[in-house]
Amino acid sequence: MPDENASKEKRSFVVDNKWYAVRVPTVDEIQKANETRAKAFNDALARGDLLRDQLEGELRKRKLWNDDREQEYQTLRTEVINGEYKLQKGGVKLRQAKSIALEMTDNRNKMVELLSSRTDLDSNTCEGKADAARFNYLFASCLVYDDTGEPYFPNNIDDYLLKQDDPVAIAGATEFYYFISGSSSVDGRLPENKFLRKFKFVDEELRLIDKDGRLINREGQHIDEEGNFVKWSKDGTCSKVDQVGREVKDDGDFAVNHSPFLDDEGSPIDESLYEEKVEAVEDEEELVEASTEELVEEPVKPKKRTRKKKVVEAESDG
């Protein structure tokens, strides 16, 4: 379990029921990270990589940015600022204010999408590569086991570069970013999210909730952690349903009792007469193996056509 008193010195998180942490880097680690950044920048510059000052021109050259995109971005930015003004001013119905906040969220997401090409290209600039190298060095040094403080990557950056897809590394990188930026979450500081949290329209993870704290979607329908539609009962339990509220079982089938189909006279049909007899396979691996064998089975070679020789019977001389 994490030490709450050490929150300023480290940030704990859990992956697969095991606790890890990212700690504050030492002065020596910061110095070496800065040296790593300088080297990465010089190497990129020597290769002729793009500088950030050249980013705008390169984007337009590659047709990743133009005047129309710029105008759309500025329009969205203006709408976000106007929404922020309305939330600060107040004086409107709370429901209307909620719609304003959600619209601000949508507009910010559209802005991010517009800037995605710029962000991708920025990561390939000399400065972008240098910043990444510095961050990676610090993170690889500061990811530790929460209980012992031992490094997760004994060989620091060398180990991390080989295991960047490690689930602990992925989760830890996000935690380290928030930790060294001095904010638990950048999203949590946005005006629209502050409003939504204040009036309990969202939970701590900024997910929409109803007045009872239950997850909902934009249309107000109840959902579970995975986004499946659910229906709550009076006893506090919930069951999966489809979009219109019909109960669904875990396997995806509807939770209904099947009744026989009827013939033209309205009499029940004996459906067992129409069921295909399938040989039971006890082991699933056996089924997969059987299917594979069918796929790789040598095709039947077509029979060669042979011409029948005409048998000419000699006429007897009688």
**Would you kindly state where each structural domain of the chain is located, as residue ranges?**
4-191, 207-268
pLDDT in 10s for each residue of the chain, 318 residues: 555 445 678 999 999 999 999 999 999 999 999 999 999 999 999 999 999 999 989 889 988 889 999 999 999 999 999 999 999 999 999 999 999 999 999 999 999 999 988 888 899 999 999 999 999 999 999 999 999 999 999 999 999 999 999 999 999 999 998 888 765 566 778 999 999 999 999 999 899 999 999 999 999 999 999 899 999 999 989 999 999 999 998 888 998 999 999 999 999 999 888 887 655 555 555 555 555 555 445 444 444 444 444 444 444 444
pLDDT score recorded for residue 118:
84
Structure tokens at 199: 């009036």
What pLDDT is stored for residue 310 in this prediction? 42
Reported pTM: 0.66
Residue 126: name the closest of 55, 72, 25 by CA: 55
pLDDT at 163: 92
Contact 252, 228 (CB under 8 A): no
Q: Amino acid letter at 253?
A: D
Beta bridge partners of 248: 254
Q: What is the model's pLDDT at position 12? A: 93
Tokens of 121: 């290209």
pLDDT attached to residue 116: 87
Whether the Cβ atoms of residue 151 and residue 76 lie closer than 8 Å to each other: no
Pairing of strands 143-145, 18-23: antiparallel
Q: What are the phi and psi torsion angles at 142 (to 5°)?
A: -105, -5
Signed CA dihedral, 262, 265, 267, 270: sign only: negative
Alpha-carbon separation of residue 180 from 6, 138, 177, 191 (angstroms):
15, 10, 6, 22
Gap between the Cα atoms of 172 and 13, Å rounded:
8
